[in-house]
Amino acid sequence: MSENKPSKFQQAITGEWHGLPSVFDADGSHTGFNKVNRSSVFEGDKTTYWMETNFQNSGPLRNRFDTAGAKFEFGVIDSDKDRVYCGPDFMGSGKPYGLLVDSNYYSPGWNTDLRTVNLILPEHGLQVYSSQLFEADTLVAVFNGLYVVTQDHDTNPETQKFVENFLEQEQLDAKKPFILPVKTSGQWTGTLDVHDASQEKIGTTDVVIDYTPTSLRSATVTVTMTGAIERTFSYKRSRVDSVHSFEGPDVYGNGRAYGRYLWSTQHFYGEAFKLKSRDTLIDDKYSLCSVWQFYQSNNELYTTFGVLDWTEGENVLAARYVKD
């Protein structure tokens, strides 16, 4: 980054972003919303991040996270290698991978350590946001939701109406649970960007996920990746409420959903290899926004991300009958 040129991610997030992130407790229960307008502004030799919030919540989390109308405003050291947050609201850093930033920072006001993942989807006009909030290694809350961007919100009534409609829809969608097709088989397909541990894009991988329900809460899955990553692996997956399990033969692990967002860790059998993922259902067509991070010997190997589209197959759990 030169002195007078913003980073690639900073260029991608130009404008004012509008969202209504959901607030979940550590068990995955939806407790309310946090209405947010925010922007990261590059001016000359400095970058300033501001955020206005309206914490629409009840219970103990409100006492912890409500800012009583105070505006977040903090300096950012902006670069394509690191985005360093300089306070007073947040101190820490973010790691950019093109249109994705994976951040870890501390909030003195909330007294939490945050792991925040933001992915820009230009073709969908969305930013897919999530924050996991910790006390040391103990999860205390989760924020997540979709954002849309505007350039003229203050002056354009049509833009204001667009944002209003989006936020109304978010209020309906944000509480929906992460449940994949219950009775219908099918495929997710798409192309994910692939970055190496040095944050350099090394290509793309084409993904095909073959999915077949075996009961109302379980399915068999085969994932085929070709291109920059060449892998095929299969597993049985099941769900009990918001807890998801992956039960071999090729990967074993579990995950927990917070609304439309599922975090999971999957360990590859017989290898020092694992996958940590954040998958998000971004519409009612089962489109998945996937952020997959692969680790070799507990070291970061690949960070991959993109959208996978669902194609419906046949109903494999049709009505059953008993003959007399």
Structure tokens at 102: 């994976």
DSSP label at residue 231: E
Count CB neighbours of 108 within 10 A: 11
On the question of pLDDT at 12 being above 90, the answer is no
Query: What are the pLDDT digits (tens) for 18-38?
Result: 999 999 999 999 999 998 888
* Radius of gyration of the CA atoms of the chain, in A: 20
- Does 139 score more than 60 pLDDT? yes
pLDDT tier, 40 (very low <50, low <70, confident <90, very high otherwise): confident
Q: What digits encode the pLDDT tens for the residues 160-177? A: 999 999 999 999 998 899
Token pair 């998801």 is at which residue?
A: 244
Provide the token pair at 42. Answer: 């590059």
Q: Residue 94 corresponds to which tokens in the numbers above?
A: 């973010």
Quote the CA–CA distance of 288 and 278 in Å, as a whole number.
10
The pLDDT > 70 percentage for the chain reads 99
Residue 194 corresponds to which amino acid? V
State the chain's mean pLDDT as an integer: 94
Cα(108)–Cα(310) distance, integer angstroms: 41
Asked if residue 294 lies in contact with residue 304, where contact means CB atoms within 8 angstroms, the answer is yes
Residue 58 has a pLDDT of 80
Tokens representing residue 256 in the block: 């927990």
**What is the band of 4 on the pLDDT scale with cuts at 50, 70, 90?**
low
- Percentage with pLDDT > 90 across the chain: 78
d(CA 252, CA 239): 14
Q: Which of 127, 108, 107, 126 is nearest to 118 (CA)?
A: 127
List 92's β-bridge partners, or say none. Answer: 85, 105
Residue that wins the pLDDT comparison between 4 and 75? 75
Question: Given this model, what pLDDT does residue 1 score?
Answer: 39
Decide which of 69 and 289 is more confident.
289
Q: Summarize the confidence of residues 64-71 as an average pLDDT.
A: 84
pLDDT at position 313 is 98
Domains and their CATH numbers in the chain: 8-173 (2.40.128.20), 184-314 (2.40.128.20)
- pLDDT per residue over 297-314, tens digit each? 999 999 999 999 999 999
Residues 106-135, mean pLDDT to the nearest whole number: 96
Residues 6 or more apart whose CB falls under 8 angstroms from that of 105 comprise 85, 90, 91, 92, 93, 94, 113, 114, 116
Q: How far apart are CA 194 and CA 205, in angstroms?
A: 7
**Rounded Cα–Cα distance for residues 88 and 104 (Å):** 15
* Model pLDDT for residues 142-156, shown as the tens digit of each residue: 999 999 998 898 889
Question: Sorting pLDDT into bands at 50, 70 and 90, what band is 159?
Answer: very high
CB contact at 8 A, 113 and 93: no
Average confidence (pLDDT) over 180-191: 98
Which residue's structure tokens are 């090729």? 250
Question: pTM of the prediction?
Answer: 0.93
Q: Is the peptide bond before 88 cis (omega within 30 degrees of 0)?
A: yes
Q: In whole angstroms, give the CA distance from residue 236 to residue 252.
A: 9
pLDDT level of residue 39 (50, 70, 90 thresholds): confident
| Residue 120 in tokens | 């820009």
Where in 5-110 does DSSP place strands (E)? 16-19, 22-25, 30-43, 46-57, 72-77, 83-86, 91-97, 100-107
231-261 burial string, b = 16+ CB within 10 Å, else e? eebebbbebeebebbbeeebbbbebbbbbbb
